[in-house]
């Protein structure tokens, strides 16, 4: 009994936190403000009033505090390469109802003849610093692996992963952008990229010439994934052809290999043109495979059927996709901006839909990336943003940078990242 009393007494002692956030508005808790105590990298308490002291105190002033932003799709090796190219690839990707998407990829590949880790890393630093300034703490980043790019992009991204450790967590995807079957030597380079330390195996099966080659591409990617015990991310059916079937092939392969929950699809733009019964079949297969899809409706004229997928209970989230490269001229690694654009392109404008969009750049994106225990709750790792606005509507409207960003329980020094993020 005495022991119990003693313990209770200790619980009432003021606690010591690394960070204490005061007057925080949480989502769906309007009219009530909270305090959040953070210590040892984790959220330790969320209460009306916390009896404790902290090394750093933040007054949220009644503004919104949420999970930080997660971007599960960015071609990070290509950022800011637009000025190195003419606009032919861009015209082909966005024009002709996406019928020339394959030509666009072939045109865009020219930049890779100049690939060198030395200049890629500078662009990468700028884009990752921007992610942090806009409250992004987790990023799945693609690096092209083929005979032109060689391993230059992968090396730059692995270097950035180390440099930004504990500020922005980068999952490096070794990505066979120019194909596997049609690009001799790509499989060997992919294995070398995994051996160098890439985190995810990335494919693009729809780009192959025949259906048999598509299936082989998918098999090869899963072979490497199983060999290295890594997750899979594949860009599927990224053109305006309703006959494309690589999403289905990928889902079936994930089930056959026992890779449920470890395979993530990206784009799936041809889905917009699928007949309804075929869409239903693919949605059912995706659920069976535990396979989500990352949609980037702002980077192409077609997009996955996000609303219908949500109705079917498929995991859907949003990605930045590109920043000033051959495929898309804009982008700031600002996931609120991505959600703002998606709100228009998907016509998701009710308050319930805005909340869903917000999930698609936070918790759902985290789930897609396989991040464990991501959320604003006691015991979870403290990856948070303190915004300048009180609710999700205003967050989307302004899509402004947060006042504070917390990654791994530490305040990110935003000031020190500003010059890195600017255009030199």
- List residues binding Zn ion (CB under 5 A): 321
CB of 42 to Zn ion, least distance (A): 33
Instruction: Please report the beta strands in 157-212, taking only residues with DSSP state E, as ranges in sequence order.
Output: 169-175, 200-203
Quote the CA–CA distance of 153 and 172 in Å, as a whole number.
10
CB closer to Zn ion out of 321 and 337: 321
Quote the CA–CA distance of 116 and 123 in Å, as a whole number.
11
Q: Which of 316, 389, 398, 296 is nearest to 74 (CA)?
A: 296
CB of 397 to Zn ion, least distance (A): 27
CB closer to Zn ion out of 214 and 376: 214
CB closer to Zn ion out of 177 and 407: 177
Position closest to Zn ion via CB:
321
CB closer to Zn ion out of 117 and 321: 321
Residue 141 tokens read as 């980043």
Residue 384 in contact with residue 136, Cβ under 8 Å?
no
CB closer to Zn ion out of 208 and 321: 321
CB closer to Zn ion out of 73 and 138: 73
CB of 204 to Zn ion, least distance (A): 9
Residue-level length of the chain: 424
CB closer to Zn ion out of 77 and 283: 77
CB closer to Zn ion out of 65 and 268: 268
DSSP assignment of 57-71: EEE-TT-BEEEPEEE
CB closer to Zn ion out of 61 and 103: 103
In sequence order, what are the beta bridge partners of 140? 171
Q: Hey, what long-range contacts does 219-223 have (CB within 8 A, 24 or more apart)? A: 219/253, 220/180, 220/181, 220/187, 220/190, 221/176, 221/180, 222/253, 222/254, 222/257, 222/259
CB of 75 to Zn ion, least distance (A): 6
CB closer to Zn ion out of 134 and 142: 142
Q: Which helix (H) or strand (E) holds 293?
A: strand 292-295
Which 8-state DSSP code applies to residue 49? S
CB of 296 to Zn ion, least distance (A): 6
Quote the CA–CA distance of 424 and 421 in Å, as a whole number.
8
DSSP assignment of 132-143: HHTTEEEEEEEE
CB of 259 to Zn ion, least distance (A): 21
CB of 374 to Zn ion, least distance (A): 22
CB of 321 to Zn ion, least distance (A): 4
127-158 burial by CB neighbour count: b if 16+ within 10 A, else e?
bbbbbbbbbbbbbbbbbbbbebbbbbbbbbbb
CB closer to Zn ion out of 178 and 321: 321
CB of 267 to Zn ion, least distance (A): 6
Helix, strand or coil for residue 15?
strand
Quote the CA–CA distance of 25 and 200 in Å, as a whole number.
36
Residue 275 in contact with residue 244, Cβ under 8 Å?
no
Quote the CA–CA distance of 21 and 24 in Å, as a whole number.
7
CB of 29 to Zn ion, least distance (A): 36
CB of 266 to Zn ion, least distance (A): 6
DSSP assignment of 380-409: SB--EEE-SSSSHHHHHHH-PPPSEEEETT
């Amino acid at each position: 009994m005495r022991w119990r009393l003693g313990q209770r007494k200790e619980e009432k002692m003021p606690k010591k936190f690394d960070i204490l956030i005061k007057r925080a508005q949480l989502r769906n808790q309007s009219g009530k403000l909270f305090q959040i105590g953070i210590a040892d990298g984790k959220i330790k308490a969320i209460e009306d009033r916390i009896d404790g002291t902290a090394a750093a105190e933040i007054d949220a002033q009644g503004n919104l505090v949420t999970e930080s932003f997660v971007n599960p799709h960015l071609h990070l090796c290509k950022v800011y390469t637009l000025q190195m190219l003419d606009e032919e690839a861009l015209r082909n990707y966005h024009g002709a109802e996406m019928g020339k998407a394959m030509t666009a990829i072939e045109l865009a590949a020219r930049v890779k003849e100049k690939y060198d880790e030395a200049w890629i890393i500078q662009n990468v630093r700028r884009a990752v610093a921007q992610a942090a300034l806009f409250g992004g703490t987790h990023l799945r980043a693609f690096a092209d692996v083929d005979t032109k790019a060689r391993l230059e992009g992968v090396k730059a991204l692995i270097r950035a992963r180390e440099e930004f450790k504990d500020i922005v967590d980068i999952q490096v995807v070794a990505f066979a952008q120019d194909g596997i079957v049609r690009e001799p030597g790509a499989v060997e380079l992919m294995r070398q990229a995994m051996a160098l330390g890439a985190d995810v195996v990335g494919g693009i099966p729809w780009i192959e010439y025949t259906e048999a080659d598509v299936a082989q591409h998918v098999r090869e990617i899963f072979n490497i994934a199983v060999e290295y015990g890594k997750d899979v991310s594949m860009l599927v059916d990224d053109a305006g052809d309703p006959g494309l079937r690589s999403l289905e092939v990928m889902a079936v392969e994930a089930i056959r290999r026992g890779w449920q929950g470890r395979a993530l699809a990206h784009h799936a733009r041809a889905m917009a043109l699928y007949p309804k019964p075929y869409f239903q079949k693919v949605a059912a297969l995706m659920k069976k495979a535990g396979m989500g899809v990352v949609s980037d409706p702002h980077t192409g004229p077609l997009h996955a059927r996000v609303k219908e997928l949500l109705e079917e209970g498929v995991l859907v989230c949003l990605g930045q996709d590109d920043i000033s490269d051959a495929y898309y001229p804009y982008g700031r690694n600002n996931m609120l901006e991505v959600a703002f654009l998606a709100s228009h392109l998907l016509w998701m404008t009710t308050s319930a839909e805005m909340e869903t969009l917000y999930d698609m750049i936070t918790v759902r994106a985290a789930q897609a990336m396989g991040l464990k225990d991501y959320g604003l709750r006691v015991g979870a790792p403290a990856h948070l943003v303190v915004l300048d606005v009180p609710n999700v509507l205003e967050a989307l409207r302004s899509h402004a940078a947060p006042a504070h960003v917390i990654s791994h329980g530490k305040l990110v020094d935003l000031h020190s990242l500003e010059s890195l993020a600017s255009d030199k």
